[in-house]
Amino acid sequence: MTRPSSARRARAVVEAAVLVKAPDWSDSRAWHVTSGSRTLVIIEPAYTAGARRGWTWRLPGGPVTRQPQPTREKAAVAGLMAWQRTATRKEPT
């Protein structure tokens, strides 16, 4: 079991995060939000009936969100907020 990060440490990770193209961008059109060498959030285009309707985000290993955001940047902010909540969450005892 890993210990949760302090709020200060998680905030420092979030502030250092950058939005970059994923290594497989040419095939997937996905973007990664990274801090250091760690991928925090994955941003992917959202499609409905063949038309792009925004951007969805997910934490690595997690499900894709159902509420698309209008821009990659807004999806990144929503994903980083979720990452910060997850990183600082204390396990129930």
Q: What's the angle, vertex CA 75, arms to CA 74 and CA 77, rounded to 5?
A: 65
Q: pLDDT per residue over 54-83, tens digit each?
A: 999 999 999 998 889 999 999 999 999 999
How much is the mean pLDDT over the chain? Answer: 90
Backbone angles phi, psi at 7, to 5 degrees: -60, -40
Total domains in the chain come to: 1
In a domain, 12, yes or no: yes
Domain of residue 16 covers 7-88
In a domain, 2, yes or no: no
pLDDT band at 92 (very low <50, low <70, confident <90, very high): low
pTM strictly above 0.75: yes
- The percent of residues above 70 in pLDDT, for the chain, comes to 92
